[in-house]
Structure 1
Amino acid sequence: MIAADETFDGTWPYPARFNEVAGFRHHYVDEGPERPGQTIVMLHGEPTWGYEWRHLIGPLSRHHRVVVPDHMGFGKSETPQDCTYDASEHILKLESLLVDTLDLTDITLVVRDWGGPIGTGFALRHPERISRIFAVNTVLPLADDIAPLMRANGVESRWFPWAHSALADGSFEQILGNAGRTIAHLMIDLQHVARPEIATPTGSAPTPAPFRPRRSAAVSSPSPGRSWRGRRAPRPGRRRWKPSPRCAQYRRCGRSGCGTPPWCPST
């Protein structure tokens, strides 16, 4: 959990607010005039936090109320160990903040990545509170069967095929445990980044910490029915990980023709 007073060199100047109605310290930003024309709620994706909206909060809050929560287990929000971290639980935590505590209405809901399914779940439970939804690089699960759409979306991303194959062959946690990098950085390595120059030390500092060998890796995921919590990364040097030939289709490191990703512990 990021410290409440952390500003990251002044790039995050917004006072931290916390809601504890749902049984944990739920961090959020609440900026803007006392009597706004409308309220904008911005939901971040995975594995980021509200920091990804930092360039929009200031301009939008000049005329509108802007509320930016961190999902449970992300950013400055607490990471309780007795939760499932599935999508339905994130929706209920969001409901506790927006309805029970802030009692927001006339909401313009801005959602990105996993903020889309979480925000959609909230909107379906409280349609009378939503004026509009603005979707950014996400999926709004409103159809009867979105599984084909999700599969098609996953094909366009190199992260998800790799993660699924690594989970299947049992190498997922071992690679993360020896990566020395955050999930956010691994995602960037596997995918095209339109503006890589923005990945500065200050910009990357707010991302979740890297997995550390021999330490418990607490990773919260809003994916339905999935969380990685309290599992230990393998101790380095005990077993040398042998890269799968499948790695070659994702990114070549140039090492003796090996197709191993650059974070592979064998490089």
Structure 2
Amino acid sequence: MTHSHRRARGRVARIATLTLVCAVVPMALAGCFGSAPADPSSPPSPVASMAQPIPTGDGILTIGALIPLSGANAALGAAELAGIELAARDIDEAGGMHRSSIVVLHGDAGDGGSTRASDAVTVFAGRGVDAIVGPSTADVFDAVDAAAATAGIPAISAVADPVSIDEGFAARLRSSDPTLADTRFGAESYDATVLIALAAQLAGDDGRSSIAEFLPAVTSGAAACSSYGECLASLKAPGGIRYTGVTGQLTTDAGATSAGALRLIGLRR
């Protein structure tokens, strides 16, 4: 064999060895010749820290609407659902949560009382719901609180009388449901949905623990904002954001009793 042939075989052997190394090196190295450029449409991947839970979301914010779809309070449920769906539409039109549309799943907190409401939470847990809006009826509140805590799902519930809304917002609710006869709790459900989306956006993650961690922050900052789009633009403002919403007096304080007040439930810290 000539010297040139031996050198050629040596090159082939080295190439074969390099190929084998590329096949078995862990994916963290992203290949032998550099990683592919990042997809600009991908949501940011936050780094976990003491102030930020480990991301557990899938990039799609899924909200469970736990409302009375049957029974004596079905009219309230229709208004609540209209508020949730209107908020989801406004959020999507403002760019979505990390550029993804919101998914809304329905659960009945009407006929069947506490047992049916608790069962709906269990179904939500199995279907990957990230946060719950509702219920607004006192008879199932405690059962939902306990079931959501067991499932580890944060929930926002109206805990007081509904706030009065102007005809302009009532008309917006009816754009989601033209048959709407009663608009009570539509504003509270709208604001709860926006709060959840802002918390997920601020956390950089739609996971349950991330939403729960950041929900209080979006109502306690220095920069007031009254819509999802406005708050999104101010998300990095010094001192944080304070979403005032349709009701104009939002809080997640467990002791809140004023009209339109919302309470963060389903958590055991």
TM score, norm. by length of structure 1:
0.30
What TM-score comes out, normalization by structure 2 length? 0.30
More helix by share: 2
Structure (1/2) with the larger strand percentage:
1
Greater relative CO, 1 or 2 (CA 8 Å, sep 6+): 2
Query: Rg: which structure is higher?
Result: 2
